[in-house]
């Protein structure tokens, strides 16, 4: 087979962020920078790395980014008070509460406390409903990033059989909704699916978001399939890898995302896109 198309999320996201930077400059003419508030609870090292990356990318693009760090034992009521204050803050166009949250915090209650027009993560039930109904709302950043990446490379999913591995409300379910809207035929595999590998082998496009390192091997993938790896894991030596066994799968794939440098940068780029869009909708132009 020919060499697979390497779906370079780092390069594509850089182009998207340059466009958003220009939009931020246009907003600045009207006296305001798009504002993003990021709330992090506890001291999970990976979460703090993600937040630092989001802040750095946002500020380079022209956003005002405020990070609110709360202790792991913070009362849920105190966290909700902060969200209420951010909801009312005109400087803040988007609010993101970094997951995971400590066990004593009800993540759904926190999500629903964010006003829908500042829910740039796209997790509020209203925005999730708009996604499934084909209405206007904020789309979760990772699935939106996957679609933008496929679109950049001219990989239409219309008429294709797409298999989504994983059914989380963060990736799997909204990914399925976006693929259906793009005219794909969609199968979602999950922990109760009988023989996920056999289902996956039928796919024209595989979206791996199951959270198991190297689970998707060449035995799972039909030659010529498009493979998108949403997973990210750290090996003992500190290097990163995904849910897909890249070295084994790449030789038989039509196109494949690397880890790192694939979906990850696109996720952050779409967070910036959502925040700038929220600022525009707030009447900044």
Q: Which residues contact 83 (CB under 8 A, 6 or more apart)?
A: 39, 95, 97, 110, 113, 114
Q: Which is nearest to 10 in space by CA: 230, 262, 256, 232?
A: 262
Of 98, 118, 173, 229, which is the active-site residue? 98
**Among residues 121, 128, 173, 229, which one is catalytic?**
121
| 202 is known as an active-site residue | no
Contacts for 205 with CB less than 8 Å, ≥ 6 apart: 155, 157, 160, 161, 162, 163, 179, 184, 225, 226, 227, 228
Task: State yes or no: is 54 an active-site residue.
Answer: yes
Residues designated catalytic: 54, 98, 121
């Amino acid at each position: 087979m020919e060499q697979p198309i390497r779906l370079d999320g780092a390069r594509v996201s850089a182009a998207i962020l340059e466009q958003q930077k220009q939009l931020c400059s246009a907003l600045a003419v009207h006296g305001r920078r798009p504002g993003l508030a990021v709330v992090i609870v506890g001291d999970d090292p990976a979460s703090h790395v993600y937040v630092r990356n989001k802040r750095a990318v946002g500020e380079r693009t022209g956003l005002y980014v405020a990070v609110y760090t709360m202790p792991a034992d913070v009362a849920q009521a105190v966290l909700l008070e902060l969200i209420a204050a951010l909801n009312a803050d005109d400087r803040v166009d988007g609010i993101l509460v970094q997951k995971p949250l400590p066990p004593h915090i009800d993540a759904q209650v926190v999500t629903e406390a964010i006003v829908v027009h500042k829910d740039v993560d796209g997790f509020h039930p209203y925005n999730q409903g708009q996604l499934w109904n084909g209405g206007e709302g904020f789309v979760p950043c990772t699935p939106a990033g996957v679609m933008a990446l496929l679109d950049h490379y001219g990989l239409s999913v219309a008429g294709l059989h797409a298999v989504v591995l994983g059914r989380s409300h963060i990736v799997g379910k909204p990914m399925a909704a976006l693929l259906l809207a793009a005219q794909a035929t969609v199968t979602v595999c999950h922990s109760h699916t009988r023989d996920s590998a056999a289902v996956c082998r039928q796919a024209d496009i595989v979206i791996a978001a199951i959270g198991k390192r190297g689970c998707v091997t060449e035995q799972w993938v039909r030659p010529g399939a498009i493979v998108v790896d949403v997973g990210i894991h750290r090996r003992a030596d500190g290097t990163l890898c995904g849910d897909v066994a890249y070295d084994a799968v790449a030789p038989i794939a039509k196109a494949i995302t690397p880890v790192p440098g694939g979906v990850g940068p696109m996720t952050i780029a779409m967070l910036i896109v959502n925040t700038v869009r929220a600022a525009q909708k707030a009447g900044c132009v």
